[in-house]
Amino acid sequence: MNKEVDNPAGSIPRHVAIIMDGNGRWAAQNGRPRLAGHRAGVKSARQIVEACAEAQVEILTLFAFSSENWQRPAEEVNALMRLFIEVLQREVATLHDNGIRLRFIGARENLPTILQKRIEDAENKTAANTRMTLMLAVAFGGRWDITQATRQIANKVSTGELDVEDIDEAMVSRHLSLATFDDPDLLIRTGGEKRVSNFLLWNLAYSEIHFSDTLWPAFDSTDLATAFEFFSQRQRRFGQLDNQKEASAD
């Protein structure tokens, strides 16, 4: 039986980011092809989206396909692109009916044209929804994100729109993919690996990080509750001392 995710005050992160790792290993352990692992991962994603929405998480960001994943065998990459298209066709209406806003971050210009169109349609259809924002990182990399932000800022400096002296952390943040969203409070990585794998490098600076040994297709609301319990026990100081945080809260 799955453990329900309770929501006592302050225990649920507003923004959860997840590196969904372990689809291939799950498939191998179960004697199935890698695509079967990815399909099983979609089912886990659906369950976690529902659980986060029920727990009143405001933003859920899922790392679905990294900029490095293009280096995988072409057969697997093509199968993943077809799976993305299939999932969007099947799931968007349900997400919309449940008040979920869908957003995508990443180099979408590198994606197949039909997938770009499905992404645009999904974003437009769900744009007014307010229950939770589901952000899918597709063809995304943290270094790519910082590089494209740097390029935008450099162009503005070269045209005189910005002075070099205007560039600060806030300026850089406004040009990143999460420009209009708060940074993740909690990063969850499944599959037992303990690294961030070029995910939201800038935005994870002060995120709490929970590593789960559970492979993503087996990750369920019980595992999510464990991650939230971990988060509720953390004291987030953002570089300050304990007494400084206490004083700022008074």
- 68 closest CA partner among 177, 211, 215, 199: 199
Strands 100-105 and 186-189: unpaired
Report, as residue numbers or ranges, the catalytic residues.
21, 69
In angstroms, what CA-CA distances link 124 with 22, 45, 119, 129, 221?
A: 31, 21, 9, 10, 29
Rounded Cα distance between 224 and 46, Å, is 13
Cβ–Cβ under 8 Å, residues 219 and 2? no
| Distance, CA of 69 to CA of 64 (rounded, Å) | 10
